[in-house]
Structure 1
Amino acid sequence: MNAALIIDASYFLAAFLFIYGLKRMSSPVTARSGIVVAGWGMVIAVAASFLYTLDVEPEARPLLTTNITLAVIALALGLGWAWWSGKKVAMTAMPQMVALYNGMGGGAAAAIAAIELFGHKAHVGVGLGLAVLGGLIGSISLAGSLIAWGKLDGRIDKTLRLKGLQAINGTLLLVLVAIGAFVVYSHGAVSVGVLAAFFALALFYGVMMTMPIGGADMPVVISLYNAFTGLAVGFEGYVLNNPALMIAGMVVGSAGTLLTLLMAKAMNRSVSNVLFSNFGAAGDEGQGEISGSMKPVDAGDAGINMRYASKVIIAPGYGLAVAQAQHKLYEFVKLLQANDVDVKFAIHPVAGRMPGHMNVLLAEAGVPYDIIYDMEDINGEFKEADVAIVIGANDTVNPAARTNKSSPIYGMPILNVDQAKQVYVVKRGQGKGYSGVENELFFRDNTNMVYGDAQKVMVAMIQAVKSLEGGH
């Protein structure tokens, strides 16, 4: 069996494992094994790439040895850093790690495009066009993902607001398209300066495109750049005539695009609105006065009330991740269940800072999948709940999205926690959510605020319930 046949067979197997792994990732029950399956696909694809060395001419072997050495060093560094950082990263930092990894994928695709274009290796025609397109998208994804990482990690605390910014960005994009078209029209025979300007402007555009986007929209942005990275990788796979890269890139690109659209729909906004609307710039101006007042209550009293409830629904948010309270929360849930309380979790599609953030958080604590429900599956049950407890969520539970047409978040689907008989909101203070909009839920007659760090609040609730049972 010759090397080419082994490589093709390996790429076919790798592509199958990518697709099968992605299918298993569609359910939280099988997601972990899906990641492992897709990981083995990547191992096979990388190993197969070394088989290209078997067909190299003898005179090229000295250069080949150098390239293999560099490849092995790069793999060792990448694997070592990924293993260390993956073990070390906290759940609260997972969104920015995902953003960073998205950026690295886009950067890799842009690097391939740069090598093909600067070295005049891309085939004239479709291959050259896809090399240019992959370089453009990959560069934007790299720069944009790094900005998203900086915003999520607290390293960038500015949101760029300039008059005429959209016109500036539109002009930049037109210039990039013009340069790319010129490169293709010239069959790649352009100066190094033109290509350097193309990549530099693409990186700058990625920065300018992401800087105006606020924290409320970061989950959608991360998903969008994931799609960008997949498309760029798929295009460069075509340029390199690599089936595994083509299939993996297209699968990631299509999955990322679908997820982006679903998340935008969950916020009742279009992707263009997310990217270009300067959402949150005006805060809650014009929303109108909110009647009522915030009514604080002791954590222990709230816990005892839930102990005697028949049905409790929990709506988690990013604050739960910040406090690392998921383990204590599940300990409290088990106490309630031991007292015949029906407990369920309600997950909003954009809760947290990345898609599936809350599902991963609860899975880490060992919460059974069968008591975790998506918004559309549980929203009708809130009116039957004795208690709804909101832990660290804000905009995703704001009734203004349903009732106040002057609110910036009007029309966004929300969890119907306000329909429960009693609502407890666990919150550090009286601050607003990502959108900068005041939450009407906090002022409702059936709502009480439990102020404090979520982990400390859960400990107080656990102790209060245990005290009713003599500490057992």
Structure 2
Amino acid sequence: MNFVLLLSYLIGSVTFIVGLKMLSHPDKARNGNLIAAVGMLIAIVATIFLYHDESGARLHNYGWIFSGLIIGTVIGTATAKKVKMTAMPEMVSLFNGMGGACAMLISIVEFNHLYGKYSSVFANGTEWQQGKGSLVIILLGLIIGSVSFAGSIIAWGKLNGSIKDKRIPAGQALNFILLGGIVVLSVLLFTGSPAMAPLFFYAVLLLSLLYGILFVMPIGGADMPVVISLLNSFTGVAAACGGFLYNNPVMLTGGILVGSAGTILTILMCKAMNRSLKNVLIGAIGAASGNAGAGNGKEQGNYKEISVNDSAVLMAYARKVFIIPGYGLAVAQAQHACHELEKLLEEKGVEVKYGIHPVAGRMPGHMNVLLAEADVPYEKLLEMEEANSEFPTTNVVLILGANDVVNPAAKEDPASPIYGMPILEVEQAEHIIVNKRSMKPGYAGIENDLFFKPKTSMLFGDAKKVLQELVAELKSL
């Protein structure tokens, strides 16, 4: 590679690292994303115009290359601008699946190139020799990319409601059989007859796609943030395989960063739910397993309702109000109305803060992104541990569409599927107002004991409409 191309790859790699570092803080995240995007653009342009192979041959078919870039850019930009915050998790899953599909297709193309290169050797009865190293990387990229692609598409369907949670009979045993089949076929690819290599290769592809489907299908709604981050790490590892294959430093760096960051995020999500990754993948909270029925067979008391006027009065004369955002806030697109309520309360001398649970919403960081869109000050967003320390001195907690992350059953009911999961301990506050459309269970399908506590009052209705009514009442006080 020439000096300019290597320098471009170095710049791209550095921007990925700097951008990822900036993503760790909300007020720098947007700029970090832009910096990494510029680095990617530099790497792409340098590859198109400066890359050449060992024989000196450069890329060709520029018409196809730029057509693909233009079409992909137009589709990606239009989709990103059009998507609602409620649909952000499924968009992330879909885009992640496209990354897995790219790694899968790269492996297919490179296997065909490799097999064609050594076909004359195979004709003499000689097995894989010099090509074995490349074949290992191709095979890893194929398996990981295929699982990521198929699993992400299923996750996308589950998040947008087109695919329902479904227990597969003997699903875990079937998954182990599929994994065993993938391993056996991979070994045969190396040790069997070279003439059978394409058959073994494409059989591995089919089993990997099937495994990706069955791997995600039974996982329930409450565990989807973990699944999204896990599949994201798979895509990163698959991309890193492509970097090894092409000896491309920037592709390798990007893949390693995505893979490692996704793995760390997966671990953090599991920690936030107080569950092992194995338990997430096998336990399947919220799946159609019969574990999470309405109320889990437990007798609940009566709940009490509160009016908009009484809620406004309660908050207007409070010293400290905590707002707990959840998926219901995103569904109603109520983040701007929420910010307006916050500003109005502060004008009346009320201290307002937000309690953010790590797995609130349907993907990691969903609530942070949602509130950032409404320009809510970052310093007002308190993580779970910090928020829990302030609830005992809080007068009113307003819960907007959150459910499982405030459910006291996680601490009090050993029979509950979410038992042991750290929650926002809102029951320590003086008054709790819960805004929901109805008394239906949350995304995990588990009824919330909090709704029946003496301190809790239910404020039914669409979050945006209720917040607008609260704002109007506060202005009239």
* TM-score of the superposed pair, with normalisation by structure 1: 0.94
* Residues 175 and 215, structure 2, Cα contact 8 Å, conserved in 1: yes
For residue 218 of structure 2, what is the aligned residue in structure 1? 212
Determine the structure 2 residue equivalent to 1:149. 156
How many angstroms does 1:343 deviate by? Answer: 0.5
Alignment RMSD, CA only?
1.8
Q: What displacement does 1:291 show?
A: 4.2
Tell me if the contact between 2:20 and 2:32 (Cα under 8 Å) persists in the aligned partners. yes
Return the letter of the residue paired with 2:459: V
How far the C-alpha of 1:288 sits from its partner, in A, is 5.5
89-98 or 193-202: which moved more?
A: 193-202
Closer, same or farther in 2 for the Cα pair 1:336/1:187, shift >3 Å?
Answer: farther
User: Is 1:93 equivalent to 2:87 in the alignment?
Assistant: yes
Q: Structure 2: state its 5+ residue gaps.
A: 118-129
User: Quick check: 308-317 or 193-202, which moved more?
Assistant: 193-202
Q: Secondary structure at the match of 2:109?
A: helix
Distance 1:139 1:84 in 2: 26
SS of the residue 1:244 aligns to: helix
Displacement of 1:80 in angstroms is 0.6
* Match of residue 176 from structure 1: 182
* CA offset digits 1:137-166 (Å, max 9, x no partner): 00000010011111111221x222133111
Q: Is the 8 A contact 1:124 1:187 kept in 2?
A: no
What secondary structure does 1:239 align onto? helix
Structure-2 change in CA distance of 1:397 and 1:287 (3 Å): same
Query: How many Å apart are 1:407 and its aligned residue?
Result: 1.3
CA distance in structure 1 between the partners assigned to 2:88 and 2:380 by the alignment? 23
Q: Distance in 1 between matches of 2:300 and 2:6?
A: 67
Q: Tell me by how many angstroms 1:54 deviates.
A: 5.7
SS of the residue 2:238 aligns to: helix
The answer to whether the aligner puts 1:51 opposite 2:35 as a matched pair is no
Q: Secondary structure at the match of 1:30?
A: helix
Task: State the match for 2:356 in structure 1.
Answer: 347
**1:272 and 2:270 equivalent?**
no
Bigger shift: residues 291-300 or 353-362: 291-300
Instruction: Describe the superposition over 1:224-265 as per-residue Cα deviations: whole angstroms up to 9, x where unpaired.
Output: 000000001001210111111111100100000000010011
Equivalent residue number for residue 115 of structure 1: 109
- Give 2:209's aligned residue: 203
Q: Tell me if the contact between 2:189 and 2:197 (Cα under 8 Å) persists in the aligned partners.
A: no
Q: 1:388 — aligned with what?
A: 397
1:185 Cα offset (Å)? 3.7
Q: Paired residue for 1:283?
A: 291
CA contact (8 A) 1:314 1:388 kept: yes
Q: Distance in 2 between matches of 1:181 and 1:350?
A: 40
* 1:360 Cα offset (Å): 0.3
- Give the fraction of aligned pairs with identical amino acids, expressed as a percent: 48
Find the partner of 2:269 among 251, 263, 266: 263
The answer to whether structure 1 residue 137 and structure 2 residue 144 are counterparts is yes
The CA distance in 2 between the partners of 1:153 and 1:370, in whole Å, is: 32
**Aligned residue in 1 for 2:11:** 13
Distance 2:339 2:194 in 1: 59
**Number of the residue aligned with 2:133:** 126
Q: How many residues align?
A: 461
Give the direction of change, closer, same or farther, for the CA distance of 1:462–1:202 in structure 2 (3 Å limit). Answer: same
- Once the two structures are TM-superposed, the CA of residue 272 in structure 1 deviates from its matched residue by 1.3
2:26 is paired with a residue of what secondary structure?
coil
| Residue type at the aligned position of 1:426 | N
Q: Deviations over 1:383-415 (max 9, x none)?
A: 110001110000000011111111111100000
Cross-structure match for 1:82: 76
- 1:292: Cα distance to partner? 2.6
* Per-residue deviation, residues 316-339 of structure 1 (Å, max 9, x unmatched): 100000000010011011000001
* Change beyond 3 A, Cα 1:455–1:305: same
| CA pair 454-165 structure 1, distance change in 2 beyond 3 A | same
1:443 deviates by: 0.2
Provide the secondary structure at the position in 1 that maps to 2:417. Answer: coil
Gaps of 5+ in 1: none
